A and B are shown apart, each in its own frame.
Chain A
Amino acid sequence: MTYFRAVDPFPLESADHTKLHEFYSHLASGRLVTTRCLDCRTTAWPPRGFCGECTSDRFEWVDLPGEGTIHAFTVQETGLPAGFDGRRVFAIVKVDVHRVFAVLVDADPLQLRIGQRVRLAPLRVADDPKGNARWLPAFTPT
């Protein structure tokens, strides 16, 4: 079937499509990285194309911890967009000083609590139109 961008819910993650492609290639190998400004040393989340503090566009990729804690969560039972099935647990995960939005996978909603430790568990989603694997950051209870 012909590919249409307007009904693909996932980002195009490869170097052909985004300046942030290294974020996704690191994620595929199990690392959560983000951008740090080489001039003012501010670490951003999510990664940025130029620094919102000093406006420099010189940055390096730095690793964030692979573990964090649940800052807030909710369980969506119904009304998910087309292509997303079942009960879904959305969470804000505190990773170092950053708040990361993600889904929790392999999580029993009744057992979850704020402050609970979770670890990075990258989630593979549908391949891009050229057959490249695509990944999103997700977490799972430790």
Chain B
Amino acid sequence: MRGVALVGAGVSKFGVRKASYRDLIWEAGKVCFDSIPGVKPKDVEGLVVGSVMPERTAFQSHISSLAAEALGIKPSALSARTEHMCASGTVGIRYAYAFIAAGLADLVMVLGVEKLNQPTGEEAILNMSAGVDREWEAAFGLTAPPCFALAAQRHMAEFGTTEEQLALVGVKNHNHAAKNPNAHFSKGATLDQVLGSRMIATPLRLFMCSPITDGAAAVILASEDRARELTDKPVWIRGTGQALDGFQLTSLHEDYAHWPALKRAARTAYAMAGVGPHEVDVAEVHDCFAIAELIAYEELGFCHKGEAGPFAAAGRSDYGGDVVVNPRGGLIGCGHPLGATGVAQAAEIFVQLRDAAGGRQAPGAAIGLTHNNSGMGEHVVMIYGRERA
């Protein structure tokens, strides 16, 4: 297979935006093209758009063509939309990667976009229930928070993880977001604020949860030769893995404190990249809720099973620790515009591995990882490197 690298990346402002679905596509597309002056829309051969529910939020299907036109791209090799709930963006990156590696295209943009906030707040939450099984779960009023709350309950019961340890993930990611001008939240948070925020689903409080956010992000992937022509700082895709354990809550591993699909996806990605978890310098993990970040530390191999709470409390997932996790602020601090999230994670690793992340820079970062999931049983892991191999 041919080598594939990121050569450009850009992210819109995330938040409750006074912007249309198309405005968000324009915003991310513009900053992405600005990041790589040698690439104009006419040069891009393919476009993959990760977007979960524009049918509900913008009454719009036919997304990849709409986005191509908005971006000025006339795809000649690949045009597609990916929908895989919260992991749609990274699933799109995998498609673009495979197309380029196989020699079917040389230059492909992946854009993720979501306009979740609606004039009526209740509708936004109703829409989120489309991501779980309508007949067997969503009909009961289920959305994501209670699912992850069940995982938190199990992790606390089994390993003694505390509310304070969960809260420290919220503190870290809110404080990281304060250094990211594109993040949904900009004020940071103290431990008292997180522990004092309102209860969503026991034991998860508001500041341990990602908010409902509008936003878009874009990256440009290039074949090895094209990447070297375009930039002297390509960021190489070194490994990728995806694994599914189950869709419905009742078909997942019986104990929600264990996410075997993430372990499998990570193992595949590490083997392909030829690196181990202790070589990862910077990671963007899917902290849709604080418990998800803790379980990710364990299943990604950053710490032993059951030790994520103390690992976080000791600062080992922050600057100066073993690995800097979620320097852009994660989903908790940046917000979670579903289809845009995985692409924004890649965009952060892109700037981190080019030593261009400014006040958020993880010093000397050479190996980066992204982890994107759609529910507790479906995981995608990407590993990026400053060097080709």
Residue ranges of A at the interface with B (Cβ–Cβ < 8 Å): 6-7, 9-11, 45-46, 71-84, 88, 90, 92, 98-103, 109, 114, 125, 136
Contacts and interface: CB of A to CB of B under 8 A. Distances in A.
B272 interface: no
B125 A79 contact: yes
B138 interface: yes
Contacts of B135: 11, 46
A76 B142 CA distance: 9
Given A6-B56, A92-B249, A79 B143 contact: yes
Contact of B142 (A10, A71, A82, A90): A90
A73 B73 CA distance: 49
Contact of B129 (A6, A81, A103): A81
Contacts of A136: 139-140
Give the one of B126, B137, B200 with max A CB within 10 A. B126
Contacts of A103: 140-141
13 contacts: A9-B141, A10-B139, A46-B248, A72-B256, A74-B146, A79-B200, A81-B125, A81-B129, A82-B123, A98-B250, A101-B136, A101-B248, A136-B139
A96 B43 CA distance: 60
B150 interface: yes
A32 to B, nearest CB: 13
Nearest to B249: A101
Contact of A11 (B129, B134, B141, B202): B134
Q: Which 4 pairs between the two chains have the least Cβ-Cβ distance?
A: A84-B141, A82-B122, A74-B149, A81-B126
A6 B122 CA distance: 15
Classify chain B's interface size. 35 or more
A72 B198 contact: no
Contacts of A114: 157
A72 B146 contact: no
A82 B126 contact: yes
A9 B146 CA distance: 17
Interface in B196-222: 198-202
Contacts of A10: 139
B153 interface: yes
Contact of A83 (B120, B126, B149): B126
A119 B235 CA distance: 56
Contacts of B157: 114
A98 B249 CA distance: 12
A46 B153 CA distance: 24
A5 to B, nearest CB: 10
Contacts of B199: 77-78
Contacts of A79: 125, 143, 145, 200-201
A21 to B, nearest CB: 12
Contacts of A46: 135-136, 248, 250
Contact of A9 (B56, B138, B250): B138
B250 A99 contact: yes
B140 A78 contact: no
A99 B260 CA distance: 18
Given A9-B129, A11-B135, A74 B141 contact: no
B141 A80 contact: yes
A6 B57 CA distance: 12
A125 B139 contact: yes
Contact of B201 (A74, A92, A99): A74
Contact of A81 (B141, B154, B200): B141
Given A73-B153, A74-B146, 20 more contacts: A9-B139, A45-B250, A46-B248, A72-B154, A72-B256, A74-B202, A75-B201, A76-B145, A76-B146, A76-B201, A77-B198, A77-B202, A80-B141, A81-B126, A82-B125, A90-B140, A90-B146, A90-B201, A103-B141, A114-B157
Contact of B150 (A80, A83, A92, A109): A92
